[in-house]
Amino acid sequence: MTYDLKTRFGPTALITGASDGIGRAFAEALAAHGFSLVLVARRETVLQALAQTLGAKHGVNVRVIAADLSDPQATARILMETESLSVGLLVAAAGFGSIGPFLAQDVASEVNMVDVNCRSVVALTHGIAGRMATARKGGIVLFGSLVGFQGVPGSATYAATKGFVQGFAEGLEVELRPLGISVLSVAPGPVGTGFAARAGMQMGRAETPETVARASLRALPRGGTVRPGVLAKLLGWSLAAMPRWGRVRVLGQIMTSMMTRTKV
């Protein structure tokens, strides 16, 4: 079946992490489909520039909310500022990771990672999904990862946050589908974004954010889990053949190979 995305999930899309990478790719794709947008990220100047570009190019309304999702008050403010809008699509793309031994990490940053990758996702999804349930339609795009299906030495906290999101999305898909809401977990492999630089990774082959956005929007009406791009599918299939303990060790070796610095 062919879906018109704006008719099925519009008229407004709320995108977190919209200033860069996958979030930005979703903003550009959804503007091309005619969605009005609410763009959320920390860097207001970057968001304002993107809003101006997308509005001029596609003739859509774009609202900007500068917010740090590690702040527990941020999601409440986002929900308040979007209360009057018909948000039919939530793309929760904000997130970050780290690489290296857990005990060598800054604990405040690790806890902030849990806040951004998990707590803010739950809070924002709860608020927006409640509105969608009243309207009896909507779509929610959450971001797991290839590393979210097992523990990963060298990226223990990040992998755990993505495991949380994967399980959260799977449960919500069953709960919310009868209410007219599609829930999609996006589980990509390596993607070429600013995420890797922040985490301290050096990646080889990677998919583009645009590939992730296109594949995700195609899969959204059916919900469930999507592994966007050939690389994610190949890695997913090869890892699925291993026992869980084997996946843990293999991905630990991969993380070690991507480290760009040694921490002591």
Catalytic-role residue among 6, 57, 137, 158: 158
Q: Taking the chain, what is the end-to-end CA distance rounded to the nearest angstrom?
A: 55
Catalytic-role residue among 3, 6, 162, 233: 162
| 162 belongs to the catalytic site | yes
Distance, CA of 44 to CA of 48 (rounded, Å): 6
**Nearest Cα to 142, choosing from 151, 130, 161, 131?**
161
Tokens of 124: 């924002």
At residue 228, what are phi and psi to the nearest 5 degrees? -75, 135
Tokens of 200: 């301290």
**Is residue 119 classed as helix, strand or coil in its secondary structure?**
helix
Q: Are 124 and 79 in contact (CB under 8 A)?
A: yes
Distance, CA of 82 to CA of 146 (rounded, Å): 32
Q: Are 110 and 191 in contact (CB under 8 A)?
A: no
Distance, CA of 226 to CA of 27 (rounded, Å): 19
| 137 belongs to the catalytic site | no
| Cα 73 versus chain centre, distance | 20
Positions marked catalytic: 158, 162
